[in-house]
A = this chain, B = another copy of it.
């Protein structure tokens, strides 16, 4: 990453921080075939329809490469959150059918294996599954979880910009994400209200909740407890198996897509999800500054 603007003598100046990453890993190859057809599971067709034209070299903006910029910007957001001790952690919950055992959860493991799994005991099994899938020219999906600790109370806005709504949008704005849940997620649907409500309690004068089924928000505002999200990620659409598709000029064809392909998106998405959560929280942190006139006074009165 190169910083083009906004930083001077080690400090931000208030000007936009412009970060640039040049793609040095481009491979010149023959795009003739790909230009003429729409790959299944990709955005080729929708881009052509929306814009009347597309950049067929690697997918343009619909490529996961686009998320590089999000991670770079997220790093800045994390610095700001760090000043308030807000802590964001995402990790791989499962790779295909292989799910971690929460009893073995060890945060230190996350970046020690390339699958970003916090349970060292499951890594070998997940790797074996992935190798098998990859050898078949195929790809795998999985689950990512993300938690935020020590988030200030009151972030989010009460109607359309609820914090969970904004986080859902931020994460679903990443390609390949097919679902998101907060707190107990789909489990809430078979509970009763008295089972699902999180009771407040003062413990040694400190407010807390006996449970956290809500996943850290109440009425769309952060409530100070842990924010918990679970995200469902589809398998990489780029596979080497023979697929049926169509050409732009109206023919049904079989296609074998060549080239490098990641057999799984999950581990790479872990850091991107952290970035999107960080960016969303900083936005809301700044927006929330003016929620009380007493805050306005704190800033302007000297």
How many A residues have CB within 8 A of the partner chain? 129
Binary contact readout A138-177 vs B (1 if CB under 8 angstroms, 0 otherwise): 1111110000000011100011111011101111110101
Q: Looking at chain A's contact residues, is the secondary structure mostly helix, strand, loop, or mixed?
A: mixed
Within 8 A of B (CB), among A1-57: 8, 11-15, 38, 40-43, 45-47, 49-55, 57
Which residue of B has the minimal Cβ distance to A266? B189
B43 touches A219 (CB 8 A): yes
Within 8 A of B (CB), among A191-217: 191-202, 205, 207, 210, 214-215, 217
**Closest Cβ–Cβ distance, residue A67 to chain B (whole Å):** 10
In Å, the complex CA distance between A24 and B222 comes to 32
Known A138-B194, A179-B182; judge A200-B290 contact (CB<8 A).
no
In Å, the complex CA distance between A299 and B62 comes to 24
Chain B residues with CB under 8 Å of A68's CB are none
Which residue of B has the minimal Cβ distance to A205? B250
In the complex, A184 has a CB within 8 A of chain B: yes
In the complex, A233 has a CB within 8 A of chain B: yes
Binary contact readout A221-234 vs B (1 if CB under 8 angstroms, 0 otherwise): 11110000000111
In the complex, A241 has a CB within 8 A of chain B: yes
B243 touches A197 (CB 8 A): yes
In the complex, A103 has a CB within 8 A of chain B: no
Chain B residues with CB under 8 Å of A202's CB are 246, 250-252
In the complex, A115 has a CB within 8 A of chain B: no
Known A53-B11, A202-B246, A285-B300; judge A234-B40 contact (CB<8 A).
no
B299 touches A14 (CB 8 A): no
Known A210-B244, A300-B84; judge A218-B293 contact (CB<8 A).
no
Which residue of B has the minimal Cβ distance to A264? B193
A232 touches B181 (CB 8 A): yes
Binary contact readout A82-105 vs B (1 if CB under 8 angstroms, 0 otherwise): 011000000000101100000000
**Closest Cβ–Cβ distance, residue A33 to chain B (whole Å):** 15
Chain B residues with CB under 8 Å of A47's CB are 14, 158, 219, 221
Most buried by B among A51, A97, A217: A51
**Closest Cβ–Cβ distance, residue A30 to chain B (whole Å):** 16
In the complex, A66 has a CB within 8 A of chain B: yes
B291 touches A188 (CB 8 A): no
In Å, the complex CA distance between A296 and B286 comes to 7
A221 touches B186 (CB 8 A): no
A175 touches B220 (CB 8 A): yes
In Å, the complex CA distance between A201 and B247 comes to 9
9 closest residue pairs by CB, A with B? A43-B219, A50-B154, A179-B181, A139-B193, A169-B169, A46-B221, A14-B51, A41-B197, A193-B235
Known: A192-B239, A285-B300. 4 other contacts (CB 8 A): A139-B192, A193-B241, A196-B235, A289-B296
